[in-house]
Amino acid sequence: MSPEPFGARLRRAMDTRGPLCVGIDPHSSLLTGWGLDDDIAGLERFTRTVVEALADRVAVLKPQSAFFERFGSRGIAVLERAVADARAAGALVVMDAKRGDIGSTMGAYAATYLDPASPLFSDAVTVSPYLGFGSLRPALDAARASGSGVFVLALTSNPEGAEVQRSTAPDGRSLAQVMLDHIAAENAGAAPLGSVGAVVGATLERAGVDLAVNGPLLAPGIGAQGATAKDLPRVFGDAVRNVVPSVSRGVLRHGPSVSALREAARQEAVQLAEAVK
């Protein structure tokens, strides 16, 4: 039997748990704010606390791989445990790795995050398409085979992204629109939601592109970067119901108290659910 596609699992998780995605971003300032040392022990305690507090109640957890990689193999071991524990508790895990390469190297990245035999197997992974959308084919094929998802960078929340993403292709479309059109083609006919998503920043003044990709729209930038739940309808328009709003510091700064983390996530989820109705 084929595995249930990520898009269907994500739609169900958002409908039952709310649309909130909480990033797990253990950078040094957050560890310090929790009274932890910026070392492997601090990383482990931080990560274990976030997973314990939230994995059984939020739709999505999104660990940022770089903050674990900086500790070498011991950090990766913490990440492996977090992914397994979060998925066991019912959260979908989106690995925020933003991988992008060609050929066998892209295939190796796909095997790392999208092969059920891998210790880092996740429900979805973020990827960069700016070596050409076709370079993502190994990840797209691996995701389809394993019932996983892929989130493709399209219009990111950082201001520098515009110089690439808003530039114009030979046919007059922006490069972001080219990527979104590729995503829509991958998701054609999928129901209730395709498994190839786009990353579109909630901080944008306007999207200015067609977001009808029949897939999820991962929306970073809420909270510390300045966007709020109220911005989502303006930025995403008719596609707002498929938005997966991502909040990191806005929730994580309430740790290390498990109850405070849960209450912060609950409040965010309520506000976001109202915004995306």
Active-site annotation, residues: 98
Dist CA 199 CA 219 (whole Å): 6
Helix 72-88, helix 40-54: angle, nearest 10: 10
Closest alpha carbon to 39 in 77, 81, 2, 74: 74
Q: Are 250 and 39 in contact (CB under 8 A)?
A: no
What does the DSSP assignment read for 207-230?
Answer: --S----SS-EEEEEESTTSB-GG
Can the peptide bond before residue 256 be classed as cis, meaning omega within 30 degrees of 0? yes
SS3 sequence of 68-130: HHCCHHHHHHHHHHHHHHHHHCCCEEEEEEEECCCHHHHHHHHHHHHCCCCCCCCCEEEECCC
